[in-house]
Amino acid sequence: MRAYERLIHYARIDTTSDESKEDTVPSTPGQFDLARSLAEEMQALGISEVRVDDKCYVYGCIPATEGREDAVGLGFIAHLDTAPDFCGKNVAPQIHENYDGEDLVLGDSGLLLRTSQFPHLKKMKGKTLITTDGRTLLGADDKAGIAEIMTAAEQLISSGEPHGRVCLCFSPDEEIGGGAKDLDIPGFGAVYAYTVDGGAENEIEYENFNAASAEFEIHGFNIHPGDAKDRMINAALLACRINGMLPEAETPRDTQDYEGFFHLTQMEGDVEKAVLRYIVRDHSAGHFEARLETLRHIEKIMNSRWGEGTVKLTIRQQYRNMKEKIEPCMHLIENAKRVIRDLGMEPVTSPVRGGTDGAQLSYRELPCPNLGTGGYAFHGPYEHITAEGMDFAVEVILGLIRAYS
């Protein structure tokens, strides 16, 4: 079975994670549906030590062949959940064989996948393009990664090729920052690993944002407008003031590459109470801490002006830049580059303007850079991927297994 065929099957299982239930693992029951289905498939393929634990982590391994028992244990990881940013239910993947490289209508949604917005589409002419119908996301982030790992495992087992121990794990709730914290690293059994959770199939990523979420809870004092002079505290207006105290040009729209940002993701409220929710990102640890200190200073200023307790700031650390943990293990990057070149493409390394499970795992002493899946425009209706890109990603996984065997 080709990887794209597996993706289409997995995409139909709703595994959208839920930020409001981040203290429950997994945050949604649909992730268990996919986990159990994968466990059955793994067992049918002949993968060993297959288990699904009580927190929805799926584990399995392909034991080393005779004579390769001393090879380093190499792991591959992908996540089960899809992003809560956009609808992940009733996904209906659309297959466009021999794609013509031009603008493409997405089902009957009225949306258009435009080459002007996604210039790389021109290079996909003649390939088998998989898109959404415009009403949901596709879920290639990261069901493409799961499909590629499973396909590589199937091909490795059926080939009889000598290899070292290969460890597999599919984890829950990566999209809400929880995918790596409960992964059983000793039980996983790998010395090094790769997440398969990136974009273009020739991408290798080992730098990511330092990340935190931040919430301002603002308490107002509501009184009849006719009696409000010097008494009313309008929480909604204070929320506007707080956002106005942040640098106007340091938003996702205005930044790129290594530039960090404050991103207002949600606001709600009225006179009585208001809430602002942000994500905060920066590649530099020093700049990241400065951003958090800016938020703390805003809280202090607002409370000094409007009274202690008017504004409450809650900051939650999410993940850190994996670069410092990968640099002592640069063979992980050099081997991946060599494999990609041997397959006929030039590798691309770029900073991740986001995070992966590999960031947390690297700080848990499992060095874990990220490989591309071949997918684009994740988290929304324009998500797309090619069957050929997925085939290439499978070959990268197999090439790395050979390199470490």
Which residues form the catalytic set? 81, 174
Nearest to 189 by CA among 70, 59, 57: 59
Do the Cβ atoms of 184 and 365 come closer than 8 Å? no
CA separation (Å) from 75 to 87, 149, 164, 192, 351? 31, 10, 11, 6, 22
- Give residue 322's Cα distance to chain centre: 14
Token code pair at residue 339:
């494999």
Axis-axis angle for helices 140-159, 30-45 (nearest 10): 10
Nearest to 283 by CA among 251, 319, 247, 253: 319
Count of beta carbons in the 10 Å neighbourhood of residue 20: 9
- First-to-last C-alpha distance (Å) of the chain: 25
**Amino acid sitting at position 164:** G
> Locate tokens 């998500």: which residue?
383
